[in-house]
Structure 1
Amino acid sequence: MGQQQITPKQRGYLIVNAHPAGCAASVRQVWEAIPPEPHEGRAPVVLVLGASGGYGMAVLLAGLRRHGVRGIGVAFENAGTERRTASAGWYRTAAMAELASASGGDISFLNGDAHADGTRAEVLKLLTERYGPVDHLVYSLAAPRRTDPATGEIHHSVIKPIGGDFTSPALLFEDGTPQIGSVHLTAATDAERAATVKVMGGEDWELWVRALADENLLGEGFTTVALSYVGSPITAPVYRQGTIGAAKEDLEATARRLQADVLPGRGRAFTVVAGAAVTQASTAIPSVALYTSLLREALGERGWRTTADQAVDLWAQLTDTTALNLDDQDRIRLDGWEVDPAVQARVLELWSDPAAAVAADPAGAAWFYAQFRALYGWDVPGVDYAAPVETSVAWPPRRP
């Protein structure tokens, strides 16, 4: 598209264009929120699947800034056209590459479908030729569809309750003004549940771990983690008790299977229960926007744990700087700040009359809206949106 002045094109919780400078500034915000840590000795090799946003991006940046990791970040992003900007993740990846290079890091970014055999083969080749065995594999994919590499069948995920319909209050925005509406979801069919597990469950994660093992690319003390979420009883009908929850249960079962069948004496596998966050994946889940805004109101700015904060905590556990915080299902927990009973009691109180809660104090809703817009590079402080910007940004070149 070249250099031009652009404005957001928004439909509800979907913005179909992204601002390059705003996306870059949002990445720098995450980077600067991570306390740097001097590191010496061998740089751990990391492979992050789903590296262009959310927890995957935060984990990669925290690993680089605090532990000097080297390795590969994989994402599946859109380069844009003459009429449309590139995807927000495309611009974020370009910004991450600049930060990595400026800090002396050795990170290669691959643009490809992480569910595809071809992408897996490309990653394995690059590991063999440049980086060697992987110390940490981070699985942080959130995709609407997946092509089964064995059958070629395309599976589509859905966000639906299981066993019955679900109606919930929801946070809506009309010209940026928060309003309380409602959402009604019909119950998932057995086929929809199975398809969601195929897309968002652990099958693909296991394929990656087995592929690394088959190519002798598991480092000594190898650890793999997959990002998961539990959340609140408030959101349970559409999350942990719904189709996404079924997929997360499969992910957790996969961790146990990997530990028992693939990694004995060779490494560890865990799911990581992260706390709430405003991500492109989470904004697609009905009722989660309202819940997250009320959670932010209940916690306040100081109580909220960002993706950067949680990524720092995760790396401390993965590198044995602190002990693993495991629950009774051997899941690493990063969400204690969210599921604290006192916090959840306050959120439930606000949830009992969300219209009154938002009217009395709209700060949480306004914060959520700003966070959502920033995902696409809009409303980021310090960015001049009136100035023309170069929208044609190259994907980071392969490192020599």
Structure 2
Amino acid sequence: MVIKPKFRGFICTTSHPEGCARQVARQIEYTKSQPKINGPKKVLVIGSSTGYGLASRIVSAFGAGADTIGVFFERPSSGNRTATAGWYNSAAFEKEAAKAGLFAKSINGDAFSKEIKEQTIDLIKKDLGQVDLVIYSLAAPKRVHPETGEVFSSVIKPIGQSYTNKTVDFHSGQVSETTIEPATEKEIRHTVAVMGGEDWKMWIDALLKAGVLAEGATTVAFSYIGPEITYPVYREGTVGRAKDDLEKTAHDLDAQLKQIGGHAYVSVNKALVTQSSAAIPVVPLYISLLYQVMKEKGLHEGCIEQMYRLFADRLYAGGEVPVDGQGRIRIDDLEMKEDVQKEVLNRWDRVNNETLREISDIEGYRRDFFQLFGFETEGIDYEADVDPDVKIPSIEEK
């Protein structure tokens, strides 16, 4: 079939297997072009099919030569319906790992559930024995609590009062003003339950109890702070409340992992184009301006560059891992440079429908968004027939 992008709101409902495979191949090529990392050898990535999770799996495997297990919740193709991008990404990763002689297996299912945790532990025991790095990179809108059965739904809203600022529709390129109403107490609690640290701790508790964390094992989860422009809808909003909980959990887990000489960290990463960030009002406009400024200054990074730097310059540089005053790893340092933020703020004041294309990288933002789903990728013939039914070897074995 010929596969074209189709949208429902902010969600792209189709994905292109060959485009996704090409994007994965590019990340692998970048990683292989960099110096080898004396890093982890057996890695579990929870949320490994897209974004920072996928990039950290690629860096682990192709940068440090690690065996990897990836956990994700993706949909295979069915009839004329394509698989999700994360499915195609994971299939491409496993194929390339096999070619390179690297162990790679995947588990598809709800990572919040007890069943998937148990299945993952069984697979570690069977094939790896223990893991020395656990990356926690789940991004989900809902969570069913494994013990109470309560269903939590996250929202992206300010807290305390409504928030009004500029935003952009990256499809049409229209700059407008948006107002977001404040979250209720229930919505705050739900967002923390989905995006906070509880499930990360459940994973580490289960892995510790099962004896599958190696001596000195490290675990890392991802966070974001960003500029004051986005604070009301992000860091001081419901998502920020969840990230505060995630960071508190990191301190608790770090203390807990001392029993095996291990550590837990939160890595604060750069703002990047993701399906979830595209749905946050204000953020796409900020990222479009940021990208243009960072590209002009030669500082721009994507997922794979960020994750390579996290591993090579922070986690496995030798010696103590550098952290800020709150114990967080900061690889948002280039984004938050004073001259970068000053210029972004200057452009924020000037951006409108007339100036958007001149002072922002709205086209780059749009292209990056489409490439998340395998579209607008150089070297792919999008008029050609392609088979949407792609297998993930380790999942099809069952």
User: TM-score range with shorter-chain normalisation?
Assistant: over 0.9
Q: Which residue of 2 is the match for residue 229 of structure 1?
A: 224
Task: Say which is worse superposed, 301-310 or 390-399, in terms of deviation.
Answer: 390-399
Q: Is 1:287 matched up with 2:282?
A: yes
Identity percentage over the alignment? 39
1:216 aligns with 2:211: yes
What is the CA–CA distance in structure 2 between the aligned matches of 1:64 and 1:77, rounded to whole Å?
21
Question: Residue 184 of structure 2 aligns with which residue?
Answer: 189
Does residue 378 of structure 1 match 2:375? yes
Q: Is the 8 A contact 1:171 1:181 kept in 2?
A: yes
Counterparts of 1:1-400 in structure 2, within 5 Å, are: 4-36=1-33, 44-173=41-170, 176-300=171-295, 302-316=298-312, 317-321=314-318, 324-355=321-352, 358-359=355-356, 361=358, 364-398=361-395
Flag the 1:161–1:199 CA change in 2: closer, same or farther, 3 A. same
- What is the TM-score of this pair, normalised by structure 2? 0.94
Secondary structure of 2:222's partner? strand
Q: Is contact 1:75–1:114 with CA below 8 Å preserved after alignment? A: yes
- CA displacement, residues 208-231 of structure 1 (integer Å, 9 cap, x when unaligned): 111111011111111001011111
Residue 303 of structure 1 aligns to a residue in which SS?
coil
Per mean C-alpha deviation after superposition, the further-off stretch among 361-370 and 41-50 is 41-50
Q: Deviations over 1:278-319 (max 9, x none)?
A: 112221211111100000111116211111111111112222
Structure 1: tracts of 5 or more residues without a match: none
Letter in 2 for 1:86: A
How has the CA–CA distance of structure 1 residues 237 and 104 changed in structure 2, closer, same or farther, with 3 Å as cutoff? same
- Between stretches 31-40 and 337-346, larger displacement belongs to 31-40
* SS of the residue 2:228 aligns to: coil
Secondary structure of the structure 1 residue equivalent to 2:134 = strand
The code of the aligned residue for 2:234 comes to Y
TM-score after normalising by structure 1: 0.94
Q: 1:307 corresponds to which letter in structure 2?
A: C
**Is contact 2:5–2:375 with CA below 8 Å preserved after alignment?**
yes
* Distance in 2 between residues matched to 1:324 and 1:11, nearest whole Å: 42
- Asked whether the 8 Å contact 1:350–1:357 carries over to 2, the reply is no
- Figure out how many residues of one structure are paired with residues of the other and give that number: 395
Q: Structure 2: 5+ residue runs without aligned partners?
A: none
Structure 1 letter corresponding to 2:373: Y
Post-superposition shift, 1:42? 9.8
Whole-angstrom distance in 2 between the partners of 1:248 and 1:109: 27
Give CA-to-partner distance per residue, 1:51-94, whole Å, 9 cap, x none.
00100011110111111011201110011322421111111111
Please give the alpha-carbon distance, in whole angstroms, between the structure 1 residues aligned to 2:129 and 2:34. Answer: 24
Contact (CA 8 Å) 2:294, 2:300: kept in 1 or not?
yes
Cα-Cα RMSD: 2.0
Which one-letter code corresponds to 1:212 in the other structure?
A: L
* 3-state SS in 1 of match to 2:334: helix
